[in-house]
Amino acid sequence: MGSLDISIIIPAYNVAGYIERCLDSILAQTFSNFEVIVINDGSTDATPQIIDGYAGREGRIKVINKQNEGVSAARNTGIKAARGEYFLFFDGDDFIEPQTCGELLTTIRERDADVLIYGYHRYRDGKVALTSLPVFPEGAYEAESVIPVLLSRFVGISLDNIYQWVKGDAEGLYVENPALWRCMTKAGVIRENGLAFDESLRVGEDTVFISDLLSCAARCYVLHKCYYYLVYRESSTIATYENDAVAKLDGKLRLITARKALTERIIKRCGADITPYWLGTVVMSSLELAFMFARKRDTGMSFAERYRAWLRYAQADAAREAARSLKLGPKPGIRTIPLFMLKHEWHFLLFICASILNLARYEFVR
C-alpha cells in the first residue's frame, strides 16, 4: 500500500443538515489519494447515522465517535488518527471546490512550503455573499518574515492598529481570518513540534493554533485563489457565542491566558515576542464587552451584576496593562474618549456611558 498524501480532519457536532454536502464535495475531488477522518463530537441529531452511512459506502472515510468536548478536543483526536503527509482541517457545515485537494497538494509541493494559505467564499442563503482572498501578497514567505508579516495579522491587533482606527482608517482593526480550513500544512510540522489545539478554548482555538503553526514554519506560501465555502448558519457555535455576553466574557478571559502561553512558547521557540501584535485586541475586547454587558438585560443579571461581570475582564492584569500602554494624542475624539476612560480606569463612568449610548441605539462596531 502506497503512502497517503492528505488527511482531511472534520469535527462534526449536530451538522445533520450540512454534513452530506460537505462530504459529497470531498468525494467529488479530482484527486483521490486522501483519507477523511470525521470526529463525531457527541452529536444529538442525525449526524452519527449520516456519517456512518458514508463510511460504510466509502473506505476513505473513517468515523471516530466521542463524547462532546468541543472542537479542539475533536481535532486533536483527528490529528492522532491521521496518517497523511499533509493535513486539511475542514468544518462539517462547509464545502469545497472539486479541484481543491489536487491543486493545493501540487502548489504546496512545488513551492516547498510548510504551510499554504488560500482564499475562501462566505456562503449565505444559497449564494456567495463575499469572496475573501488573503490580505497578503501572493508568494513565498521565508522564516524571518513569517512572524512579522503573516502571524502578526492572524494573532490579533496591535496598539498601532487602534491608533489607525482612531484616525479614521476603516481597516485599522482588520484581523485576517485565522481559520484552519484556509490552510494546508505539512503534517510533519505539527507532529515534530507537538502542536495541539488548546482544549480549554471553545472559541479562538484557531487563532492560537495557526499562530503556533506559523512560528514553526520555515517557509509559507500565500495563494490568491479561493477553494473553500464558509457556510453561515444562525445555530453555529460562533453565531451563538457572538450574542451571549456571559459566554463571550468567559471565552475572552480564556483567550488572554492562551495568548500569554502562546507568546511564551514562541519566545522559547524562536526568540520573538509577539505580545505587541495582540495587545490592541485586549483593549478593544474591553470596550466591546462594556457595551455588550451594558446592553444585555436578557442575561437575568442586575445592572450591578453586569458591571461586576465586565470588570472581571477590564481589571484582568493583561487588560489593565494593555489599556495603560495606550498613547493617545492631545486631540480628543469620539473614538478616543472610551479609550481614555479605559486607560485611566474610569470603569464605572465608561459603563454608564455605554449604557446611555445603548439607550440611544448606538451600535459599538469594531
Domain-located, residue 150: no
pLDDT score at 365: 61
- Whether 41 is covered by a domain: the verdict is yes
Residue 53 lies in a domain: yes
pLDDT in tens, 263-284: 999 999 999 999 999 999 999 9
Do 126 and 230 fall into the same domain? yes
The answer, as to whether pTM is greater than 0.85, is: yes
Percentage of residues in the chain with pLDDT exceeding 70?
A: 95
Residue type, 281: T
- Using one digit for the tens of pLDDT, what is the confidence trace for 130-176? 999 999 999 999 999 999 999 999 999 999 999 999 988 888 999 99
Q: Is residue 322 one of the residues assigned to a domain?
A: yes
The residue out of 196, 213, 238 marking a domain boundary is 238
Distances (CA, A) of 26 to 2, 22, 37, 87, 242: 21, 7, 12, 14, 29
Same structural domain, 306 and 278: yes
Q: pLDDT value at position 36?
A: 98
pLDDT at 239 over 70: no
Whether 87 and 203 map to the same domain: the answer is yes
Q: What is the CATH number of the domain that holds 203?
A: 3.90.550.10
The answer to whether residue 3 scores a pLDDT higher than 50 is yes
Examine residue 303 and state whether it is found in any structural domain, yes or no. yes
Alpha carbons 260 and 206: distance in angstroms, whole number: 15
* H or E segment to which residue 96 belongs: strand 95-96
215 near 149, Cβ under 8 Å? no
d(CA 11, CA 36): 11
Q: Cα(81)–Cα(273) distance, rounded to whole angstroms?
A: 33
> Are 215 and 271 contained in the same domain?
no
Q: Is 50 exceeded by the pLDDT of residue 1?
A: no
pLDDT for res 358:
78
Domain boundary among 191, 210, 238: 238
The residue among 218, 238, 258 that closes a domain is 238
pLDDT digits (tens, 9 = 90+) for 60-78: 999 999 999 999 999 999 9
* 18 & 121 share domain: yes
- If asked whether residues 315 and 223 sit together in one domain, one would say no
| pLDDT the model gives residue 54 | 98
Let me know whether 227 and 280 are in one domain.
Answer: no
Distance CA 14, CA 231 (A): 15
What is the domain range of residue 254?
245-359
Together in a domain, 213 and 98:
yes
| Pair (22, 59) in one structural domain | yes
SS3 186: strand
Q: SS3 string of 74-86?
A: HHHHHHHHCCCCE
Whether 282 and 338 share a structural domain: yes
Q: Note whether 66 and 191 are same-domain residues.
A: yes
Q: pLDDT band for 363, please (50, 70, 90 cuts).
A: low
Statement to judge: residues 319 and 227 lie in one domain: no
Q: Name beta bridge partners: 124.
A: 127
Coil, helix or strand for 64?
Answer: strand
Q: How many domains does the chain have?
A: 2
Chain segment 310-351, per-residue pLDDT in tens: 999 999 999 999 999 999 877 667 889 999 999 999 999 999
Query: Is residue 346, in this structure, part of any structural domain at all?
Result: yes
Determine, yes or no, domain membership for 302.
Answer: yes
Tell me, yes or no, whether 189 lies in a domain.
Answer: yes
